[in-house]
Amino acid sequence: MKIKSHSMLFAALAVGAAMAVPAYAAKDVVFAVASQFTTTDPYDANDTLSQAMAKSFYEGLFGFDKDMKVIPVLAESYTASKDGLVYTIKLKKGIKFHDGTDFKADAVKANLDRVTNPENKLKRYGLYNNNIAKTEAVDDSTARITLKTPFSAFINQLAHPSTVMISPTALAKYGNKDIAFNPVGTGPFKFVEWKQTDYLKVAKNENYWQKGLPKVDSITWKPVIDSNSRAAVMQTGEAQFTYPLPYEQAETLKAKADLDVVAAPSIILRYLSMNTQQKPFDNPKVRQAIAYAINKEAVAKIAFSGYATPADGIVPEGVEYSVKIGVMPYDVAKAKQLLTEAGYPNGFETELWSGYNHSIAQKLTQVLQQQLQQIGIRTKITLLEAGQRVEKVESWQDPATAPVRLYYIGWSSSTGEADWAIRPLLASDSWPPKLFNTAYYKSDKVDGDIKSALLTTDKTEKAKFYKDAQESIYKDAPWVPLVTEKLLSAKSKRLSGVYTMPDGSFDIINVDLK
């Protein structure tokens, strides 16, 4: 649900340094992560990392397993009405919040009412207010949610890491803002302290409802911003887990006897979008020429040290309803021919921007530049710093004058579902500044498919619409899908039960330290 980036200023995490421990060794795990937490309140967070960390003390009604499949967590089961408007959710019984109060349907109501109330000014407001009409507590263990319009990806949305159950008592006690400094949930760990500059610490919840969990006594989440420094703390044993590990250092860390380097699949797609409203990119032949001119294997090899696979479609594998279409072939002769047909036999000059300014983007944009120059397209690279990105791309008001041309960026659908992988990026009503259609792509066919898919709850129907959408996008080529990256993490051999999930979040519930 958020653009992924793995370097100085965004995503990541690491597990547990044993701090001079007494004889019976309390198991303290330190997770070193790549940026500071913005908040502990998932409804007010927009970064994957803060939400991943919050999963140590918060749980949702639903969640994702480590392959991004939806699983019930605090919910027992659900039923959807025929018209797709009413969801009735049965809750698990006997679960207590950290403050000792019982988890009941009133918590569902309190949390969803809170986020859908504009007064509370929460950053996730938009995600819920668009579709939730009202939430009711039918009885202690039954909640009923009524939608404004049918939205078949609704359960995925409830599984999103921002939809968590905060203790209503605590919410009332601390208020809308201060709850972020005093989180009270049902999760496997209780919040201990947050020293913003240094670390956030959580300790074992002795009364956790899943028996036998958690297996460690505490977790210390420690932001270590520089990626090389993150590799260093792993080697010194100051941390037992780190993500993301810089790709270039994988070999060095692999050679260490006490460390494992883990490459996990992701649903993070890296792509090059082309502004289809502007010359010369309004010509599909030019766009196809660019797609043919780029050697995706080389991109994976150079920018990701091989820890990426050439993208074989518009929606990466692992996202529900994704379709494998095939890697756009690398064919310079054909690219040149297409460019000549389009009326640019000698190429042209254009801008190549990157939405990140980390070292991977540095390498990747230069590879793209090298390859485009082979067919005569001369590019000027600008790596946009976050504020510039917002100014020049995300908040640009008038589509007709948008300065973006070639734009390198990435996306992961954090609901694990095709809607959020296509609609924000390619629907015609998602042009900036609304959402993230940086190609300014507009196709009535695709728009229609997206709408129809949302209205139906029938899975085969949905699959058909999404397949159709992905294939027409692929043909129109508003993007060059480049690679799906692998999530590279390093962990101590003593550590088990920690996984990076395909969206760059973490599964830590089974964490254990030998």
Partner 1 sequence: MTTATVPLTSTASVRTPWTEFWRKFKRQHAAVIAGVFVLLLVTLAILAPWIVPYDAENFFDYDSLNARPSWKHWFGVDPLGRDILSRLLMGARISLTAGFVSVAVGAIVGTVLGLVAGYREGWWDRIIMRLCDVLFAFPGILLAIGIVAILGGGMINVIIAVAIFSIPTFARLVRGNTLSLKHLTYVEAARSVGASDWTIVMRHIFPGTIAAVVVYFSLRIGTSIITAASLSFIGLGAQPPTPEWGAMLNEARSDMMTSPHVAIFPSLAIFFTVLAFNLLGDGLRDALDPKIDRR
Partner 2 sequence: MLQYIVRRLLGLIPTLLIVAVLVFMFVHLLPGDPARLAAGPDATPATVALVRQDLGLDKPLPEQFIRFATGVLRGDFGRSLRTKRPVSTEIAERFMPTMWLTVAAMAWSVLIGMAIGTLSAVWRNRWPDRVGMTLAVSGISFPAFALGMLLMQIFAVQLNWLPTVGADTWRHYILPSVTLGAAVAAIMARFTRSSFVEILQDDYIRTARAKGLPETVVVVKHGLRNALIPVVTMMGLQFGFLLGGSIVVEVVFNWPGMGRLLIDAVDMRDYPVIQGLVLLFSVEFILINLIVDVLYAVINPTIRYR
Give dist(CA 244, CA 227) in Å, integer. Answer: 8
Rg (CA), the chain: 23
Binding track over 203-232 against partner 2, x by CB under 8 A: -------------------xxxxx-xx--x
Number of neighbours of residue 254 by Cβ within 10 angstroms: 11
Minimum CB separation of residue 359 from partner 1 in Å reads 5
Interacting partner of 455 out of partner 1, partner 2, none (Cβ under 5 to 8 A depending on kind):
none
Interacting partner of 410 out of partner 1, partner 2, none (Cβ under 5 to 8 A depending on kind):
none
Phi-psi region of 411 (alpha: psi -120 to 50; beta: other; left: phi over 0): beta
Cβ neighbourhood burial of 502 (10 Å; 0-12, 13-18, 19+): buried
Give dist(CA 369, CA 339) in Å, integer. Answer: 16
Binding track over 405-434 against partner 2, x by CB under 8 A: -------------------x--------xx
Give dist(CA 502, CA 490) in Å, integer. Answer: 16
Nearest Cα neighbor of 217 from 225, 209, 208 is 208
The DSSP letter of residue 103 is: P
The nearer residue to partner 1, 114 or 358, going by C-beta atoms, is 358
Residues linked to residue 263 through DSSP beta bridges, in sequence order: 488
Q: Establish if 228 lies at the interface with partner 1 (CB under 8 A).
A: yes
User: For every residue of 182-246, which 3-state class applies, written as one string?
Assistant: CCCCCCCEEEEEEECCCEEEEEECCCCCCCCCCCCCEEEEEECCCHHHHHHHHHHCCCCEEECCC
Encoded tokens for 5: 């980036």
Q: Establish if 436 lies at the interface with partner 2 (CB under 8 A).
A: yes
Give dist(CA 229, CA 233) in Å, integer. Answer: 6
Minimum CB separation of residue 232 from partner 1 in Å reads 10
Stretch that binds partner 1, among 13-21, 227-235, 270-278, 441-449 (CB under 8 A): 227-235
Q: Establish if 233 lies at the interface with partner 2 (CB under 8 A).
A: yes
Q: Establish if 195 lies at the interface with partner 2 (CB under 8 A).
A: yes
Stretch that binds partner 1, among 126-134, 206-214, 376-384, 480-488 (CB under 8 A): 376-384
Residues that bind partner 2 (rule: CB under 8 A) add up to a total of 53
Q: Establish if 486 lies at the interface with partner 1 (CB under 8 A).
A: no
Single out the residue of 38, 277, 366, 510 in contact with partner 2 (rule: CB under 8 A): 38
Single out the residue of 21, 26, 65, 126 in contact with partner 2 (rule: CB under 8 A): 126
Q: Establish if 370 lies at the interface with partner 1 (CB under 8 A).
A: yes
Contact indicator for 274, 426 with CB cutoff of 8 Å: no
Give dist(CA 227, CA 222) in Å, integer. Answer: 13
Give dist(CA 475, CA 133) in Å, integer. Answer: 38
Give dist(CA 32, CA 233) in Å, integer. Answer: 8
Nearest Cα neighbor of 277 from 131, 402, 175, 120 is 402
Phi and psi (nearest 5°) for 381?
-85, 135
Q: Establish if 310 lies at the interface with partner 1 (CB under 8 A).
A: no
The nearer residue to partner 1, 149 or 373, going by C-beta atoms, is 373
Single out the residue of 22, 94, 118, 212 in contact with partner 2 (rule: CB under 8 A): 118
Q: Establish if 149 lies at the interface with partner 2 (CB under 8 A).
A: no
Stretch that binds partner 1, among 166-174, 249-257, 409-417, 497-505 (CB under 8 A): 249-257
Q: Establish if 94 lies at the interface with partner 2 (CB under 8 A).
A: no
The nearer residue to partner 2, 118 or 212, going by C-beta atoms, is 118
Minimum CB separation of residue 388 from partner 2 in Å reads 5
- Residues in contact with partner 1 by CB under 8 A are 8, 227-228, 231, 246-249, 251-252, 298, 301-302, 357-359, 362-363, 365-367, 369-370, 373, 380-383, 385, 387-388
- Residues in contact with partner 2 by CB under 8 A are 1-3, 8-9, 36, 38-39, 46-47, 118, 121-127, 129-130, 177, 180, 195-198, 222-226, 228-229, 232-233, 235-236, 238, 385-392, 394-395, 424, 433-436
